[in-house]
Structure formats: structure tokens, C-alpha cells
Amino acid sequence: MTLPPSLPALFRVLLRLLLIQGVALGIKITNLEVPTPLAVGEGGWLLCEWEDEGDHVYALKWYVGGEEFYRWTPLETPAVKTFMSSHFVVDSRESQRGRVRIRNVTVSAGGKYRCEISGEAPKFKTSFATADMMVVDLPDSQPRLVGGDAGPYQLHQVVTINCSSHDALPAPTLTFYINDQPVDPEWEDNDQVILNETSGLETSHKSLHFKLRPSMVSEGLLQVKCVASYPDLYWDSSDITFRVLSGHGSGFPLGSQEFVLQGDAGRPQASLHHFPLFLIALVFFR
């Protein structure tokens, strides 16, 4: 290679070194995306984008946990190859270049994803990038609420309510609300998570203890709600409405039930339209 003689000598030497060493050549990964979090059974697009810095792609490979599941070799026919994976189905018709469509993930699909791009012969200079994907096995049903002692409740009485969410991985976070307001954290026990060794799934439990105060009761009623959630993925709740006696039964209609369970444990609650993924979860878990 001839360099223009006008370049300062030192610069010419450096430039020649760079070209010979191939330092300026290579492929730089500019963007890596994996869909996260996903629920078991869902899918999405993996994306690996790059800039050629004077080199061309010889092979682009996707791995999860060291296992290759996709390869794109533009000079070969077919250019796209997919490998059987126990973690998901790779859609080879929709996938091309660094964009890969996966479907029906299992819980084992969670982990570190790696995109590796190698340049052309003779150096096959390789770049890679990694990203984490989280996969959640959602609870089988909405959280269950269990009231400590049946009513009628009196003002200033201490009430204990337990909430649990069953057979998920990892267990969701449980949060209590009284009349749709977050509760004082001192009234809650920390989440307790119990692993079922047979199924490998977790159940979370939380207890709420509080003293019934007049400010909590509106028209003789008080609602306790428990929400099970994963950020950006899933939300579901159950609630119970109690009737509270304001004192010695006064103001309480004769013949009506003093203790009313309005929370129907078999029915999803109203706020689901904020959480379209819940519908997907329903489809997969009913």
C-alpha cells in the first residue's frame, strides 16, 4: 500500500501499523436488546446491531448459557441456521441477520444472552455483547386472603389478615392496601417465601396486623386488598370488605350480616385493563 508522501512521516508509520494490525478493522456491536421480563409461554424479539468498521460479517451467533441457538452466515445458503433449544422455539422464518424471534419460553430461558459477531477471514476478529433476560412462571391464581377471626369487628379491635400467592417462580411481591391506600409498613410482616422442592415453585406469604381506627371506616365498611405483582409484567389482586360496628351495635341495620366477605376470591379485580399482559397470563394459565 502506498500512502501519500505529504503525510508527516510519524503519522504514516502509525497509520501503516494500524492497517497491518487490523486495529481499525473490526465490527462493533452498537445495540443489544432482549425482551425482559417475560412470562412463561411468551416470546419476543432479540436484537443485535452492529457497525462494520471496514470489516464484513462472517458469522453472527446468539447463545444462551453457552448454548448456541441461532447463526447467521451471510455467505452461506441458507444464511440462517437455528439449533434446537429446550428454552424456547426459534422462529427461523421470521429471523434474519441479528434479529431473532423466539416463542414459548420456558422458565429455564431466563439468564445471560450473548451475541457474537466475527469478521471475515483470515482474522475472524470477534466482538460480543451480553444482556440478561428474566422469565417468570406466574402464579396459578390471584392472591388468597384469609381473615384472622371472623367478625363482627369492633372499632379499636386488632385485625390480622393473611395473603398468599401460590406456585410461582420467583414468588411475586405482595402489597396490602386499606381502602386503596398503602398501609403503614409497620403493620406488615416481611414476605415469607416457601419453596416446594417437588415442583420447584415458590409461594409467598404476608400478614397484616392493624388496629381498627375510626378514620379507616367509611359508612361502616373497610376494605383490605392484597396485590401480587412483578414490575412491568403482572399485577393481580383480591380484596375483602368488612363491616365494622361503630359501638355496641348502634346504627347497624337489624337483620343484616355483621361480617361481609365481598372479595370474591375466584374473580379477577377491576384494574386489569392497566395490565394487558395479565390477559396473556390468563390465556396461558387457565
Ligand X SMILES: *[C@@H]1O[C@H](CO)[C@@H](O)[C@H](O)[C@H]1NC(C)=O
Per CB under 6 A, residues contacting ligand X are 104, 106, 146, 148, 162, 196, 198-199, 205, 207
- Of 199 and 218, nearer to ligand X (C-beta) is 199
Query: CB of residue 89 vs ligand X: minimum separation in angstroms?
Result: 6
What gap in Å lies between CA 134 and CA 259, rounded to an integer?
Answer: 42
- Of 106 and 127, nearer to ligand X (C-beta) is 106
- Of 124 and 284, nearer to ligand X (C-beta) is 284
Query: CB of residue 278 vs ligand X: minimum separation in angstroms?
Result: 19
Going 270 to 271 to 273 to 277, the CA torsion angle's sign is negative
Grid coordinates belonging to 92: 427461523
- Of 148 and 249, nearer to ligand X (C-beta) is 148
Query: CB of residue 232 vs ligand X: minimum separation in angstroms?
Result: 22
Query: CB of residue 177 vs ligand X: minimum separation in angstroms?
Result: 18
- Of 6 and 198, nearer to ligand X (C-beta) is 198
280: left (phi over 0), alpha (psi -120 to 50) or beta: alpha
DSSP for 210-222 reads EE--GGG-BTTEE
Query: CB of residue 92 vs ligand X: minimum separation in angstroms?
Result: 15
Query: CB of residue 117 vs ligand X: minimum separation in angstroms?
Result: 29
- Of 178 and 208, nearer to ligand X (C-beta) is 208
Query: CB of residue 194 vs ligand X: minimum separation in angstroms?
Result: 8
- 78 upstream amide cis, omega within 30 of 0: yes
What gap in Å lies between CA 89 and CA 226, rounded to an integer?
Answer: 35
Going 150 to 154 to 160 to 162, the CA torsion angle's sign is positive
DSSP for 70-138 reads EEE-TTSSSSEEE---SS-EEEEEEEETTEEEEES--GGG-EEEEEEEEE-TTT--EEEEEEEE-EEB-
- Are the C-beta atoms of 228 and 142 separated by less than 8 Å? yes
**Could you tell me which residues are beta bridge partners of residue 124?**
none
Please list, in sequence order, all residues whose beta carbon lies within 8 angstroms of the beta carbon of residue 7, skipping any fewer than 6 positions away: 15
- Are the C-beta atoms of 79 and 73 separated by less than 8 Å? yes
- Of 14 and 194, nearer to ligand X (C-beta) is 194
- Of 3 and 195, nearer to ligand X (C-beta) is 195
Query: CB of residue 159 vs ligand X: minimum separation in angstroms?
Result: 11
